[in-house]
Structures are given as C-alpha cells and as structure tokens.
Amino acid sequence: MKMGLPARIFAIILRISPPFLKNKLWKWWYQRLAKGYDKKEFRFMNYGYMDKDPPILSDDDESHRLFIQLYNINIKHIEFKDKDVLEVGSGRGGGASWIAKTKKPKSLIGVDFSKEAVALCNDWYKSQNNLSFIEGNAEKLSFSDSSFDAVYNVESSHCYGNILNFVQEVFRVLKDEGDFCWTDFRDQKTMTELENIFLSVGFEITSKRNITTEVLEALDIVNDNKKEKINQLVPKSIRRSFETFAGVQGTPVYQAFIDDRLQYYCYRMKK
C-alpha cells in the first residue's frame, strides 16, 4: 500500500475484506498514524462527549475535557479503586492515564495492536506506577482466565475483524461479577447484532444509552481546534485521511452521524 492511500479507498477496502485482512489493515493504519505523528498533544483519538454533569478535572487535563468525558461516561458508577483493570484498544493512552491517576486502580493495563503506540505510551506515562501498556490482539488476549475486575473499551471495537472473538475474550479474562464498559458507534442493524452477541456470550446488560447527540456536540465544539492541530502536527500526506477518521465536519463519518446512519452507544455489563 502507498503512504498516500486516501481514507475513502481505505474504507472501501475494509468493507469488502474478510475479518483476518480487516484486522491487518487496521493495524497497518494505526501503526502508520503512530509513526506519522509522535506528538504528545495527540493523547486522545476519540470523538469526545458533551457531559451535562461534567467531572472535575485538574488544570493539566482541562484542555482534554471533552475526550476525557467520553471515558468518564463509559465507566461512570464503576468502582476501580484498588482493582485490576484492563483497557482493550488503549491507543495513545490519554484515557488510561487519566483513569489510572484519578480512579486509583491497583493496576491498569492498556492493550493495543500498534507497537508504535504502545512504545509511545510506555515512554509518556512511565511515571505512573499503576499503569502499563503492552502490544496485543483484542481477539486473542494474552491473559489468564478471570484476571481482571473490570474491562473497558472506548471507540475501538469497530476496527476488529471478529467482534464475537473480542466479546468472548473479554468475558474470559473478567472475574465473576466483573464489569465490562463499552462505547462505540454502529449502524442500527449492526448494533442489534452486537447486543445479541453480548447476551449470547453471557453478559448481563445493566445499562445502555444512545449518546449520539452528546458526541456530535463534542465534535462540533472541537472541530476548528482539531483541524488547526492536524494542520500543525500531522504530515500533509495523511492530513485529509486523519480528518476523516477524527470525525471532522464534512467528512463521511461526521455526515453519517448527522444523517442518523450511524449512532453512538454506551453499554455497561456484568459477567
């Protein structure tokens, strides 16, 4: 693949690819992004969330408020203190870092399939003793059964080739009564299928919400700043592609939210 591959062509290839190839394509894409911009300003890759009951943040975190709020709404009311926690799809580690320092888990491990992103995270957050990052596959987690009190996943699972394998793996590594917090976007048909997978694997759904309105509000608020940062920090050859995957106004993903072809969901579950 050429470095200048447009995001639209990449998306078409993804749609027609079998699961094993889809996984490899996403891995290639995120490796490329990690190599293309290693700036710590991009600690978050999610779309954000406009919270009507916002958390109190430190001065250092305030500039990342909308992105942190998406993590917060995902894990809200789940007790992490002194627990063993896993994030699947930890990306550039901003969410894991915030959770590790504010929710005080005994340990928080972030798993991501981009070794470049993992390397960046282990360098950026090395001062946080309860936080670590490892390279891994969401569909084949390298942990023993019943290893974690809680698992969370934020805006990552749409990249996975086999969603059933992922859900089964989360169920396997969770302890009995463990919590699974999931948030991501889907079309309505695919979300119905995914909810059936959650239930068939054995999860009890304790809450579910459609949060598309709040995510769109966040996208609108950060749009100009996001475009400016992308122009400043992202190589020109991948700038438009990154705008597309960042949900900038006028891109296909953003328009799909506006047209109600995609919705953003937040689920909390118990094993």
pLDDT digits (tens, 9 = 90+) for 177-191: 999 999 999 999 999
111 found inside a domain: yes
pLDDT digits (tens, 9 = 90+) for 45-101: 899 999 999 999 999 999 999 999 999 999 999 999 999 999 999 999 999 999 999
1 found inside a domain: no
156 found inside a domain: yes
Strand-pair category, 174-186 with 148-154: parallel
CATH number at residue 120: 3.40.50.150
Domain total of the chain: 1
81 found inside a domain: yes
2 found inside a domain: no
pLDDT digits (tens, 9 = 90+) for 9-25: 444 444 544 555 555 55
Residue 51 sits in which domain range?
Answer: 7-270
Say what the pLDDT of residue 159 is.
Answer: 82
Please name the residues in contact with 48: beta carbons below 8 A apart, sequence gap of 6 or more.
66, 67, 69, 70, 215, 218, 219, 221, 222
